[in-house]
Structure 1
């Protein structure tokens, strides 16, 4: 069953931020997504006051 967990990438290794139920050496598939809050934080104040629609468009473009 798929499960979403947060992880930190350090020194070439993904380190889960919570306990995972896996056997040592078990293979998994990862889908890597950057944290949206971190992306939007980079743009805070850049465009002055923006509408919700403008920020949603920016968020959508950041993930394309």
Structure 2
């Protein structure tokens, strides 16, 4: 497969996009773990989530 005179630009572009996507996946994974840990700490300290209550509990 010949990419022509722009082969280096095309390959570099694909590598850059792959790197950005990998970084975003890593960032989202780390943030998810951080949010889960923070939520666990809040629940352990007695703070409850509104979404965990039923409609009768809100009265």
So what's the TM-score if we normalise by structure 2? 0.29
- Which structure shows the higher strand fraction? 1
Q: Which one has a bigger Cα radius of gyration?
A: 2
So what's the TM-score if we normalise by structure 1? 0.27
- Which structure shows the higher helix fraction? 2
**Greater RCO, CA 8 A, separation 6+:** 1
